């Protein structure tokens, strides 16, 4: 149990479907993240929210749409995905603080397969 909960853990969707990934953190943190991890590739930062405002968007295609309704919840809305979007999607949270600190804690991930 990491304090960051992701659902669903596994998702198979067609290219024309619309689905959402959900993340909830129980750590009282003020920043939340979406990362993508494909096979044999490093972690790719997708989005960062700080105090519910998006502060980072790493040139992610518009078929991925994040939503952060409050500091504890983060969604990733998916539509018209491509097979190459199949990957492990990791949610993370941290307590933003200046200087040293800001340890990131990951959820268990959502395995996405696009068929």
Partner 1 sequence: QKEVEQNSGPLSVPEGAIASLNCTYSDRGSQSFFWYRQYSGKSPELIMFIYSNGDKEDGRFTAQLNKASQYVSLLIRDSQPSDSATYLCAVNGEGGSYIPTFGRGTSLIVHP
Positions in the binding site for partner 1 (CB under 8 A): 2, 31, 33, 42-43, 45, 48, 56, 88, 90, 94, 96-109
Cβ-based nearer residue to partner 1, 39 or 69: 39
* Minimum gap (Å) between residue 80 Cβ and partner 1: 27
Q: Tell me the closest approach of the beta carbon of residue 110 to partner 1, in angstroms.
A: 10
Q: DSSP 3-state assignment of 48? A: strand
Q: Considering the complex, state which of residue 15 and residue 55 has its C-beta at the smaller distance from partner 1.
A: 55
Decide if 6 contacts 111 (C-beta within 8 A).
no
Q: State the minimum distance, in angstroms, from the CB of residue 27 to partner 1.
A: 12
Per DSSP bridges, beta strands 73-79 and 64-70 are: antiparallel
Those residues with Cβ within 8 angstroms of residue 86's Cβ, 6 or more apart along the chain or in another chain: 38, 112, 113, 114
- β-pairing, 110-114 with 10-13? parallel
**Residue placing its CB nearer to partner 1 in the complex, 6 or 64:** 6
DSSP 8-state code for residue 63: T
Of 25 and 94, the one with the shorter C-beta distance to partner 1 is 94
């Amino acid at each position: 149990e990491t304090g960051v909960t992701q659902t669903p853990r596994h998702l198979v969707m067609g290219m024309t479907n619309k689905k959402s990934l959900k993340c909830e953190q129980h750590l009282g943190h003020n920043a939340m993240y979406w990362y993508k991890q494909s096979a044999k590739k490093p972690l790719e930062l997708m989005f960062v929210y700080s105090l519910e405002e998006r502060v980072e968007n790493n040139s992610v295609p518009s078929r991925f749409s994040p939503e952060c309704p409050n500091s504890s919840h983060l969604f990733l809305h998916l539509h018209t995905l491509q097979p190459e979007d199949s990957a492990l999607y990791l949610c993370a949270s941290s307590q933003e603080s200046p200087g040293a600190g800001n340890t990131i804690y990951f959820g268990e991930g959502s395995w996405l397969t696009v068929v």
